[in-house]
Amino acid sequence: MSPFVPHPLLRGPHAQTLGAKFLRSETGIHFRRETWDTPDGDILELDFADVPGRTWAQLGDRAPVGVLLHGLEGCARTGYAHATYRAFAARGIRPVGMNYRSCGGAMPRAHRMYHAGETSDPRHVIERLADRFGVPLVAIGFSLGANILLKLQGEWGAESPLAAAAVVSPPFDLAAGVARIERGFSKVYSRYLTRRLKGKLRLRLEEFAELDLDAAAGLAGSTLRDFDEHVTAPLHGFEDAADYYARCSSGSFVGAIRTPTLVIRSLDDPFLAEDVPRAALAANPATELLLSAHGGHVAFLARGRRGGVRSWAEDTAGAWLAERV
């Protein structure tokens, strides 16, 4: 795997991170939406991606399937999702993206949302896809989705239905990451994500009125930790934010992973702390760490053809996964 070299006009962590949001293409792919029922009476929305010239039909019934898990308040049709679907399809993998509850457009029916340690929904999706298609499956997760995928892989251990997995910009210590995003310019990211979460909470205030959570405090808070303390934690059965972070941080699960898993992280990530468990990853023969000095958060934009941008992490992960199916 070639090392990451940032685009000459996008050298800093914030230039990378913001450039990834605004410079990646989100057009040209056709999506087929499927809505699946969940065991608890809710719904999940999946987007099956048809890349021009490499559609599901053209790749054929025997082609492996690749599942994408997106980041906090993202969806299965973001810029990095498009880049991933192209990388998958170019290597003969049929791509599908999973939208977490409330992220695909429809609001959940159940009295819950999603969070960094919620693995029951992706477990349900991956196992159902394995049964339905009967071909090798791979998965890739970004940011919060990377934490979820690592945790799920650790929970599965040797029983994982995946042939391989890859994660980009995973947090390993959620508490440290939430603290890091409140420093310096990174507060901009925290405020943006917190506003989005509050917007969804406002839509469900009446529905959540009888639950044991302080919605008013969640709306009054200004940080992600405030929201997690008053909403995420009590809504999903945790004592408080500290309990939520401790029980759901992926760093506690990497030692139990038994399926080949690639980890891509940058040292200048403005969202995350210096929390990479290098010793645990090195000691596990199933995990491979690709640590870059630069790259920002879910960015890794390199120079493309004619001076444009190339999504290095998605290309690298796609090639690595394709070699294992």
Q: What is the pLDDT of residue 107?
A: 87
Q: Are 178 and 275 in contact (CB under 8 A)?
A: no
User: Would you name the residues annotated as active-site residues?
Assistant: 143, 269, 297
**What per-residue string of b and e applies to 185-210 under the rule 16 or more CB within 10 Å gives b?**
ebeebbeebbeebbeebeebeeebee
What is the rounded distance in angstroms from the CA atom of residue 60 to the CA atom of residue 147?
31
Could you read off the pLDDT of 142-165 as tens digits, one per residue? Answer: 999 999 999 999 999 999 999 999
Q: Considering the chain, what percentage of its residues have pLDDT values greater than 70?
A: 100
Q: What percent helix, strand, coil does the chain show, rounded to 5?
A: 45, 20, 40
Which pLDDT tens digit goes with each residue over 224-253?
A: 999 999 999 999 999 999 999 999 999 999
Under the banding of pLDDT at 50, 70 and 90, the label for residue 110 is confident
**DSSP per-residue string spanning 114-150:** --TT--HHHHHHHHHHHHHH-S-EEEEEETHHHHHHH
Q: What b/e string do you get for 281-318 counting C-beta neighbours within 10 Å, with b at 16 or more? A: beebebbbbbebebbbbbbbbbbeeeeebebbbbbbbb
Mean pLDDT confidence for 107-128: 95
Mean of all residue pLDDT scores within the chain: 96
Q: Contact at 8 Å (CB) between 23 and 307?
A: no
Q: How confident is the model at residue 187 (pLDDT cuts 50, 70, 90)?
A: very high
Please give the radius of gyration of the chain, using alpha carbons only, rounded to the nearest integer: 19
Per-residue model confidence (pLDDT) at position 212: 82
pLDDT digits (tens, 9 = 90+) for 303-314: 998 878 999 999
For the cut 90, the answer to whether the pLDDT of residue 301 exceeds it is: yes
The pTM is what? 0.97
Mean pLDDT of 176-199: 97
